[in-house]
C-alpha cells in the first residue's frame, strides 16, 4: 500500500513506535484514528509524497506500535503522553518543526500536541473531531446513541476487552459499516491491516485504555487548558464528513483557535479514504499557506 516508503521501529524507553516514512519536502506527520492503523492514509500518501516528507506511524498501542501497561489513571494512553511519544519520534527523525494532521483519535493526539508543544507545529489539520471536552459536554441522547462506543469503551476493564475479544472482526466491520459514507468503498488491504490489529488482545486493551483516558485524564487536561485560556497558535483547518457529523464543528473550535477554518465534504467519517484527492488538496493548500 505504501510503495517506496521505509518502515522503522523507534524505541522510546521500551515503548516501540512503528512508522512509515516516504516522500520529500517539509515534514508532515499523519495520525490515524480508531479502530484503524496507519493504513488509513494509504490513498492520500501517494498524492502528497511528491511535496512532503510523510511520517505515518501507528498510534501507541495500535497496529504494530506498543504502549505502556494500563495504569489506574490511564496516563499511558492519555493524549498528552501520546503527543510526547510522537514529539520524541520526530526528534529521532531530525524534525524540529512539522505540519500535523490527525483523524479521529489521532486528531485528539494532534490538537494536544499543538497545545503542549506549540512551537513545533507549523500547521494543524483535524479530521472529523471536536475537542474531547467539548464532545462530552455536547453529548445529548442522540449523540450518545450515535457515539455509544465512547461510554462503552470507557467502562472498567475487562468488560470492553472481553466483549470485543469475543469476535473482534465482527466489531471492526460493524464500526466501519456504521461510520462510512453511502458511496464509500474501503480498500480490502487496509481492512485486512485493521483486522490484524484488532485481533491482537493487546491492541483491544490499548484501544479501551485510550477511551478510558478520554473519559478521565484527557478531560481533566482539556478543562485545565480551557481554564488557562490556552489556544492553538498555528493555523487550524477542520475537515468534516457531513454524512457522519451533520453539525458543524467550527464554532466550538474557534474558542481554541479564533481563525480556524472548516471544509465540509459529502462523505462519511473516513475522509482520507473516502475522498483522498480532496483531502490531499486541502492538506496541500493549508500546509503551503503556513
Catalytic residue annotation: 104, 269
- 8 Å CB contact between 271 and 279: yes
- Alpha helices by DSSP H, listed for the chain, are 45-48, 79-92, 105-116, 132-137, 141-146, 149-153, 159-165, 168-179, 188-198, 201-214, 217-227, 250-253, 271-274, 276-288
Cα–Cα distance for residue pair 283/289, rounded to 1 Å: 10
- 8 Å CB contact between 95 and 122: no
Which helix (H) or strand (E) is 126 found in, with range?
strand 121-127
User: Which residues make beta-bridge pairs with 31?
Assistant: 102
Hey, what's the torsion of the CAs at 196, 197, 202, 207, to 10 degrees?
-150
Cα–Cα distance for residue pair 111/102, rounded to 1 Å: 8
Residue 230: closest CA among 258, 259, 256: 256
- 8 Å CB contact between 129 and 249: yes
Amino acid at each position: 500500500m505504501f510503495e517506496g516508503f521505509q518502515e522503522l521501529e523507534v524505541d522510546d524507553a521500551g515503548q516501540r513506535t512503528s512508522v512509515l516514512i516516504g516522500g520529500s519536502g517539509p515534514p508532515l506527520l499523519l495520525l490515524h484514528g480508531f479502530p484503524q492503523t496507519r493504513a488509513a492514509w494509504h490513498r492520500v500518501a501517494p498524492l502528497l509524497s511528491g511535496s512532503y516528507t510523510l511520517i505515518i506511524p501507528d498510534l501507541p498501542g495500535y497496529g504494530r506500535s506498543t504502549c505502556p501497561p494500563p495504569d489506574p489513571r490511564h496516563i499511558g494512553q492519555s493524549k498528552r503522553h501520546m503527543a510526547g511519544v510522537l514529539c520524541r519520534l520526530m526528534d529521532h527523525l531530525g524534525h524540529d518543526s512539522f505540519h500535523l494532521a490527525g483523524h479521529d483519535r489521532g486528531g485528539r493526539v494532534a490538537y494536544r500536541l499543538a497545545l503542549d508543544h506549540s512551537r513545533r507545529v507549523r500547521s494543524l489539520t483535524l479530521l472529523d473531531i471536536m475537542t474531547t471536552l467539548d464532545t462530552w459536554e455536547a453529548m445529548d441522547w442522540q449523540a450518545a446513541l450515535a457515539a455509544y462506543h465512547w461510554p462503552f469503551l470507557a467502562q472498567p476493564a475487562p468488560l470492553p476487552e472481553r466483549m470485543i475479544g469475543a469476535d473482534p472482526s465482527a466489531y471492526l466491520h460493524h464500526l466501519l459499516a456504521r461510520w462510512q459514507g453511502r458511496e464509500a468503498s474501503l480498500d480490502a488491504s487496509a481492512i485486512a491491516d485493521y483486522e490484524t490489529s484488532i485481533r491482537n488482545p493487546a491492541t483491544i486493551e490499548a484501544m479501551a485504555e485510550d477511551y478510558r483516558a478520554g473519559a478521565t485524564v484527557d478531560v481533566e487536561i482539556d478543562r485545565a487548558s480551557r481554564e488557562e485560556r490556552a489556544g492553538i497558535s498555528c493555523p487550524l483547518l477542520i475537515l468534516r464528513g457531513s454524512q457522519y457529523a451533520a453539525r458543524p464543528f467550527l464554532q466550538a473550535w474557534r474558542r481554541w483557535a479564533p481563525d480556524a477554518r472548516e471544509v465540509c465534504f459529502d462523505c462519511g467519517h473516513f475522509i482520507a479514504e473516502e475522498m483522498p484527492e480532496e483531502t490531499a488538496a486541502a492538506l496541500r493548500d493549508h500546509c503551503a499557506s503556513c
